[in-house]
């Protein structure tokens, strides 16, 4: 939660812009937030990724760890400062990883922390049109619900994957109804969604506005519209749900 508290100065700093976004409905672009917003988001999610990603979440996926150990092609879409991508690249040196994000400042931060890893690179691109194909694994960490066109993102990811590939979605822990989310974590995420996730989505093309508390059923609908037919929830943590999608 220490990382989460570092988000608060950015929220208060952006209050005039958020007020205008509420009035107009046009949203607020990620790049227009105070720069400590992206740093705070990175600090909030890092401990959970460090604790669960390699030890629990990837092993929960069917056959994925074996592919990564042999050598796989992986895209981490919406990677932000790239911590999730680096964790995987360090754990699986036989595989190649590319971190993708549409925010150039975040990619600059990610590149600054590569530390000589030869199986890791970062690119500025949108989830709907990033380059490359033949991916064995595509990951998205706390990113899909922020996108203006999550269906378009899912559709492009499906086209960039191998037919036996896997999409791993890490999304905020959320139930499918308001009542399911009336708990301490849900309250935190509703506040974050209102100030960060929804304005970010509304500022982009389509502007679907899923929000942080979309829930498993709504996310699954997006994935099915994007071309995925096999969707499950193999793992979870107090702050995240992990969804596995296959063609």
Separation CA 246–CA 53 (nearest Å): 19
Main-chain dihedrals φ then ψ at residue 171, nearest 5 degrees: -125, 160
Q: Which residue has the tokens 């209050």?
A: 15
For the CA atoms of 239, 216, 64, 84, the dihedral, rounded to the nearest 10 degrees, stands at -40
Q: Which residues pair with 138 in a beta bridge?
A: 75, 167
In sequence order, what are the residues at sequence separation of 6 or more whose Cβ sits closer than 8 angstroms to the Cβ of residue 118?
A: none
- Identify the burial level of 20 via C-beta atoms within 10 angstroms of its C-beta, where 0-12 means exposed, 13-18 middle and 19 or more buried: exposed
**3-state SS assignment for residue 46:** helix
Spatial separation of the C-alpha atoms in residues 226 and 244, rounded to whole Å: 14
- Whole-model pTM: value is 0.94
How far apart are alpha carbons 63 and 65 in whole angstroms?
A: 6
- In sequence order, the β-bridge partners of residue 135 are 161
**CA–CA separation, 1 and 32 (whole Å):** 24
pLDDT digits (tens, 9 = 90+) for 125-170: 999 999 999 999 999 999 999 999 999 999 999 999 999 999 999 9
Number of residues assigned to the chain: 247
What is the pLDDT at residue 154?
A: 98
pLDDT tens, residue order, the chain (247 aa): 788 888 888 888 889 999 999 999 999 998 888 878 888 889 889 999 999 999 999 999 999 999 999 999 999 999 999 999 999 999 999 999 999 999 999 999 999 998 888 999 999 999 999 999 999 999 999 999 999 999 999 999 999 999 999 999 999 999 999 999 999 999 999 999 999 999 999 999 999 999 999 999 999 999 999 999 999 999 999 899 999 999 9
172: CB partners within 8 A, 6+ apart = 142, 145, 189, 192, 212, 213, 239, 240, 241
CA distance linking residue 181 with residue 239, whole number of Å: 12
Quick check: helix, strand or coil at residue 172?
Answer: strand
């Amino acid at each position: 939660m220490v990382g989460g508290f570092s988000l608060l100065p950015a929220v208060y700093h952006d209050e005039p812009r958020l007020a205008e976004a509420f009035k107009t409905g046009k949203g607020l672009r990620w790049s227009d937030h105070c720069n400590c917003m992206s740093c705070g988001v990175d600090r909030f999610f890092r401990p959970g990724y460090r604790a669960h990603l390699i030890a629990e979440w990837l092993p929960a996926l069917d056959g994925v760890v074996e592919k990564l150990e042999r050598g796989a092609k992986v895209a981490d879409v919406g990677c932000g400062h790239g911590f999730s991508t680096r964790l995987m690249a360090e754990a699986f040196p036989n595989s190649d990883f590319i971190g993708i994000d549409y925010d150039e400042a975040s990619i600059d931060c990610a590149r600054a922390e590569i530390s000589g890893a030869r199986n890791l690179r970062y690119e500025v691109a949108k989830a709907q049109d990033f380059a490359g194909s033949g991916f064995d694994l595509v990951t998205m960490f706390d990113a899909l619900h922020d996108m203006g066109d999550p269906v378009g993102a899912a559709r492009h990811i499906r086209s960039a994957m191998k037919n036996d590939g896997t999409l791993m979605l890490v999304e905020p822990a959320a139930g499918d109804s308001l009542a399911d989310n009336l708990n301490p974590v849900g309250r935190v995420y509703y506040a974050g969604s209102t100030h960060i996730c929804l304005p970010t989505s509304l500022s982009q093309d389509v502007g679907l506005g899923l929000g942080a508390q979309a829930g498993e059923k709504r996310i699954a609908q997006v994935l099915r519209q994007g071309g995925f037919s096999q969707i499950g929830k193999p793992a979870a943590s107090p702050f995240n749900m992990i969804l596995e999608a296959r063609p």
